[in-house]
Every structure is written in structure tokens, then in C-alpha cells.
A and B are shown apart, each in its own frame.
Chain A
């Protein structure tokens, strides 16, 4: 009996490994940021930043940029391998960038591999680059010592205030779901820096060429999600501005009669604080009310313009169609899509100033 047990144990040990491909950290190149551009002739150009481990204690991670042309993403990876000493692996990918031109042709084919590949995490950020993705990818390793960090942190930092929270999962959610259209951050290079240009608007998976400018990103966030943080500048007169700080903003969608004659009311409640003001006495209640009313008027107008712009372009980044579906029995998707551009959408904004800082 004991001998039998021993044999079984031995046999189990002999069978370990099981033909699994080993990946040792020093023998692979970890892709950090990838960019894809349209290279004409149905080809795409992939550019990738990889970190190259250096020997020695406290050595900086080296970084290297590789490029390749191909018809699809996996083949591009293969082409890049022709130039690299070790295989490139995508398990730690943090940001994938798409050039404007490629994005306007539709991203489905180029996101599919990230959706399918179990190696890729769901916290991967996608972004569109105004111009060529290649430029941002090449700029990236120059800015900061650790590769892959710059663009990721740039997006992450701005998600708190001016960019919608979009990672791979949320993009797929909006792209595959009916009644929602995705949005992605729009980046650009200015001089020797990478900058967020705004929010790129999509129709299903196609970039429509329009975007919300960076400053108005805050307004989009107000319309689309509950969040804290962020600020917006209101112009009173020439050379006279006030900055409104968002403390907490909540949004509710009221959709009625979606199957026949839809009506939408978007209710935004914002608690705000003022930290910089010129020409008003904040101690007096009248003036505070005045500022509130003025801010509601200015921001409300902007929000209405934004919603109208969405309707004119037949896109639905606010997921109104999806909200309508979840509140309507036997929802008629087709009718909604036809009616969408002409639906009366009312934005109901309520700003409450709760703080005026530590000075009177």
C-alpha cells in the first residue's frame, strides 16, 4: 500500500509542468502603451512602448519603442517581434491609443482582440489621439522614467474632474449595448507634452470627428454621472470670472412615454462652493442667491446646448435609450431611435452654494 502511494506521488511529480509555456520576467518585454494608426491600404501601424528590465540593483527600467505595419493587431505584435530580442507580452498593458483617422473608421476590429484575450485586464484605458497615436506613444517614454505611467496617470487624474470614467469594460458596455454610445478621452501632443484635448464622441464604434473641449468635460460629467470634485469657470463680464467648485453633483433621468411620444427631463442637483469671486459680497444672502441664479442660467444653457448637439449628431452618450428601456415595458427600440433626434430634452439644473471658503 505504501509503495503504491509512493509510486503515485512520484508519478505526479514527474507529470508536473504539463507542457506549459514559461514566461520569465527577464526574458520578456512588457508592453505598456500601444498606439495604432491608419497606414492606408487597409493596413494599420502599431507602435508600442515596452519596458526593458536592466540588470543591477536600483537600475531604472529601460524603455524602447517599436513599430510595425500590419492588417490586424495580433499580426502587428508579431511584426514587432521581428525587431525585439525577447517576445512582447501584453499582460500589463495600461493604455491603448487609436489615431483619429483609424477611430473614425470604426474601432470594433481593433478592440476585439482586447475583449477576447484573457491576458488583458479590464482596467485598460482606451483613448483617441488627435493626429497620430504614434506621436503620443513616442513622446511618452521621454517624459517620465517609468514607462507606461505618464499617459495612464494623466487619464486617471483627469477622470476625477473632466473625463468620464471610461476603461475597457465601460467602453465595451457602451459599444455593445443598444441605446448607448461610448465616449473616449481625446489626447494630443503640444510641443513636448501630452495633453487631454477633450472627450471624443462615438457613434457605436465610430469616432464622429466631434469632441467636447476639455473645459466642458466637467459639464459632460455633470450630465452623465454622480461625482464629487471638479470646477467650472463662469464669465460674468469682460475680465470678470467666477470659479464654481463642485462638492457633490447628482443626476436623475426622468423619461416618460418612451413608446409613443417620449419626453426626457434630466434633473441635476449640484452642491457647490465658491473659492474665488470678484465684485460680490458673499456675506449677504441676496448676492449668494444672485450668484446661484446666474450660475444656473449660464451652466444650464451650456448643458442644453450639449444635449442638443448630441441629438443633432444622432448619438446617445448619456445612455438615455438604455434608461428608457429599463423603465418601459415592451420597449420599442426602433421607434426610440427614430424619435431620438427630436425628443424634447429638458435639463433641470439646481445649484446650491454650501460654502464660500474660509474668508468673509
Chain B
């Protein structure tokens, strides 16, 4: 059951820091504010903070799941170990579908942004094909290449967070008061809605064997997840101060609309540059998602990863064609958010508990 990729394919534990936000920060950040603020108003940032901390607890669970067996495992191995071949594989296939779904959301939502903000007449099929060809090249290069791309993407994308400075001139920080004026239930509801934006950390279950000195990686993973949380909290704080709560309810892409206020002498509409640069944040996401799906598929079905990769890309292409208007995309987003929520908040803890029970009976020593 031991999973041992060649050492030339492994990465240093430090890079897990980049892989975490690399997968977690995607298209969600462009417009998550409206959905969260609808539930818990000015206390939305508390929800973002809480769910960020819960994610860290779940991340700790993932590391426990992976590390307490006698050998190095990944999700596929854990499933086989705990449920046997057939049931285990059924779960694995569910996870493959889940990773594909995440990739579809990322690509389709990003293209929707391009359609609405920049080019309404753009040929979606062509654009998706170009993106998928890029994804193919990166994923074909292997996990190391994708890691590198995550780092580059984060570096190119991170200057965009400085844009939060511009709305401060318009900020009404008293909008954040009164503190904790929403019930516990409302804040928790907002936490649930926030899940979709934090998804991606569970990929550690797939790429764990690819990390050298694995024990050291946990620290970096937690730091990475905290980094994501900080970025989300800052974004929502700025948005809450910039928009009136009643106004925020109608703004679909709050972060993007906020970039409109950026006023530089040499450029009138900064959000066009922002959207273009954002591709460097979205593409690593898609690559990681597709890589995880193809890797799991390879481990389950035993075919070559490249074949699986092509198949998965075709599935993504076809699904993107069917998601052709705002209503369907929104619905798809909501459904996947639900699925993601149950996988992360329900399935992972259950798996964790089940593993504890099984190991106790078997008498493993951790």
C-alpha cells in the first residue's frame, strides 16, 4: 500500500505554504462578500475568521489521517485500507468527480467574469480550449511544475491585494458596528456559505506523498491556510467599509467593482488589468484540481495519467459548454458549494473517526 513517488518528483516541505493559498484563492474572492454579508451583515468578517480557523482544524485532521498509519498513504490508499477495494474505489470515484467539479467552477466562473466585464461577445468555446491546452501542458509537466506555477501565480497576483488601499478614501469603518449584532446561527450560516472559498486544502490528501520530509510540511500547510484566511478577512473588511450593507446585496463581484475606484493617471479602468492578471491566480487552481483528479483516476483505474488527463479535460470542456448562462452557473456554484461543504465538514471528520476506530481494533501504534 505504500505510495512512493520518485524523489525527483518530490517537493520541499516549504512549498506547501504556496500550494495552500494557490488552491484556496481562486475566483471566489472576486465576489464572495455579497453572499457572506447577506447572512451576517457587518459581522461577516467574524464568519470569515471562524471558518478560516475551522479549516485549520480540518487540515490538522487531514495530516492525522495521512500520518498515523505505519506507511505513507494518500487518500486512495486510505480508502482502500479502511473500506476495502470496491467500496473504497466508489469513494475514490466520488472524489475524482468532486475535483473535476471544482475545476469546472473555476474555469466557468472566470470566463463569466470575462464575458460580463470585458468581452460580451467572446467565443467561450475557444477561450476554454486555449485554457485547457495550457492546463494540459502544465499538468503533463508533473507535480513539480504545477508547484512552481502556483508560486509564480501567487507572486504575480499578490500585488493586486495592494489595491485595497484605494477604497480606503471612501471607507466608512463605522459600518462595522455594532459588533456581534447577529445571532450565533446567522454567523454560522455565513460560515457555511464561506466554505466554497476555502476549499482546496483537502488536496493535501492527494499530493502528500509528493512532499519530501513530510513531517515538516504540516507547519507550512497551516501557515498557508492562515495566509489565505488573512487575505479573505482583509478583503471582506474593506468591502464592508466601502459599500453600504444594503448596497452590497446587489453587487455580484464586490472585489472587482471595488477595483473600479482605482484611479491611476495612466489607466482609467484598472479592473481590466486586474481581471487579466487574475488568470495567473485561476490557472494554478485549475491545474492542481485537474492534476488531483487525474492522479486519483490513475491510482484507481491503473491507466496512464496522461490518458486520464485528456479524458478529464474533455469532460470539463463539455460541461462548460452546457453551463451557458448566469442562472445555470449560479445554480452549479450553489450545488458544488453544498457538496464541498458536506465533503469537508461531514465526510472528512467521519473518515477521521472511522480510521481511529479501525486502527484501535487493529492495534496500530502511531
B residues near A180, Cβ cutoff 8 Å: 244
Q: Which of A169, A178, A326 contacts B178 (CB 8 A)?
A: A326
A152 close to chain B: CB less than 8 A: no
- Binding stretch for chain A, among B32-40, B121-129, B300-308: B121-129
Residue of A nearest to B174 (CB): A326
Task: Identify which of residues 295-336 in chain B touch chain A, using a CB-to-CB cut-off of 8 Å.
Answer: none
Task: Identify which of residues 242-261 in chain A touch chain B, using a CB-to-CB cut-off of 8 Å.
Answer: none
Q: Which of A8, A123, A323 contacts B263 (CB 8 A)?
A: A123
| Shortest beta-carbon distance from A313 to chain B in Å | 22
Residues A177 and B244 in contact, CB atoms below 8 Å apart = yes
B residues near A12, Cβ cutoff 8 Å: 130, 133
Residues B181 and A170 in contact, CB atoms below 8 Å apart = no
A327 close to chain B: CB less than 8 A: yes
CA distance A180 to B263 in the complex (A): 26
Residues B116 and A118 in contact, CB atoms below 8 Å apart = yes
Q: Which of A19, A92, A170 contacts B123 (CB 8 A)?
A: A19
B269 close to chain A: CB less than 8 A: yes
CA distance A326 to B271 in the complex (A): 31
Residues B245 and A20 in contact, CB atoms below 8 Å apart = no
A residues near B174, Cβ cutoff 8 Å: 323, 326-327
B residues near A91, Cβ cutoff 8 Å: 268-269
Residues A177 and B246 in contact, CB atoms below 8 Å apart = yes
Q: Which of B42, B119, B246 contacts A176 (CB 8 A)?
A: B246
Q: Which of A11, A21, A173 contacts B244 (CB 8 A)?
A: A173
Residues B246 and A178 in contact, CB atoms below 8 Å apart = yes
Residues A177 and B245 in contact, CB atoms below 8 Å apart = yes
A142 close to chain B: CB less than 8 A: no
Residues B244 and A327 in contact, CB atoms below 8 Å apart = no
Q: Which of B117, B170, B177, B268 contacts A118 (CB 8 A)?
A: B117
Residues B175 and A21 in contact, CB atoms below 8 Å apart = no
CA distance A15 to B269 in the complex (A): 26
CA distance A336 to B246 in the complex (A): 17
CA distance A35 to B208 in the complex (A): 62
Residues A18 and B177 in contact, CB atoms below 8 Å apart = no
A210 close to chain B: CB less than 8 A: no
Which of A19, A329, A331 has the most chain B CB atoms closer than 10 A to its own CB? A19
CB 8 Å contact bits of A258-276 with B (1 = contact, 0 = none): 0000000000000000000
CB 8 Å contact bits of A114-149 with B (1 = contact, 0 = none): 010010011100000000000000000000000000
Contact A176/B250 with A18-B122, A19-B126, A123-B263 known, Cβ cut-off 8 Å? yes
CB 8 Å contact bits of B152-178 with A (1 = contact, 0 = none): 000000000000000000100011111
CB 8 Å contact bits of B224-267 with A (1 = contact, 0 = none): 00000000000000000001111100100000010011010000
Q: Is the interface of B mostly helix, strand, loop or mixed?
A: helix
CA distance A178 to B129 in the complex (A): 46
Residues B244 and A20 in contact, CB atoms below 8 Å apart = no
Q: Which of B123, B127, B178, B261 contacts A123 (CB 8 A)?
A: B261
| Shortest beta-carbon distance from B86 to chain A in Å | 38
Residue of A nearest to B261 (CB): A122
Q: Which of A8, A173, A177, A327 contacts B177 (CB 8 A)?
A: A327
A residues near B129, Cβ cutoff 8 Å: 15
CB 8 Å contact bits of A1-20 with B (1 = contact, 0 = none): 00000001001100100111
B residues near A18, Cβ cutoff 8 Å: 119, 122-123, 126-127, 130
Residues A327 and B178 in contact, CB atoms below 8 Å apart = yes
B residues near A11, Cβ cutoff 8 Å: 133
Residue of B nearest to A319 (CB): B172
Residues B170 and A170 in contact, CB atoms below 8 Å apart = yes
Task: Identify which of residues 43-63 in chain B touch chain A, using a CB-to-CB cut-off of 8 Å.
Answer: none
B residues near A326, Cβ cutoff 8 Å: 42, 174-178
B residues near A239, Cβ cutoff 8 Å: none
Residues A172 and B247 in contact, CB atoms below 8 Å apart = yes
Residues B119 and A20 in contact, CB atoms below 8 Å apart = yes
A322 close to chain B: CB less than 8 A: yes
CB 8 Å contact bits of B255-290 with A (1 = contact, 0 = none): 001001101000011010000000000000000000
Task: Identify which of residues 140-192 in chain A touch chain B, using a CB-to-CB cut-off of 8 Å.
Answer: 169-170, 172-174, 176-178, 180
Task: Identify which of residues 73-106 in chain A touch chain B, using a CB-to-CB cut-off of 8 Å.
Answer: 91-92
List 18 other contacts, CB 8 Å, given A11-B133, A12-B133, A19-B122.
A15-B126, A15-B130, A18-B119, A18-B123, A20-B122, A118-B116, A118-B118, A118-B271, A122-B257, A169-B170, A170-B170, A173-B243, A176-B247, A177-B245, A326-B177, A328-B178, A329-B181, A331-B178
Q: Can you name 15 A-B residue pairings with CB atoms under 8 Å? A: A11-B133, A15-B130, A18-B122, A18-B130, A19-B121, A19-B122, A21-B120, A118-B117, A118-B118, A169-B261, A170-B170, A173-B247, A177-B246, A326-B174, A330-B181
Sorted nearest first, the 5 A-B pairs with minimum C-beta distance are A177-B244, A19-B123, A176-B247, A326-B177, A122-B260
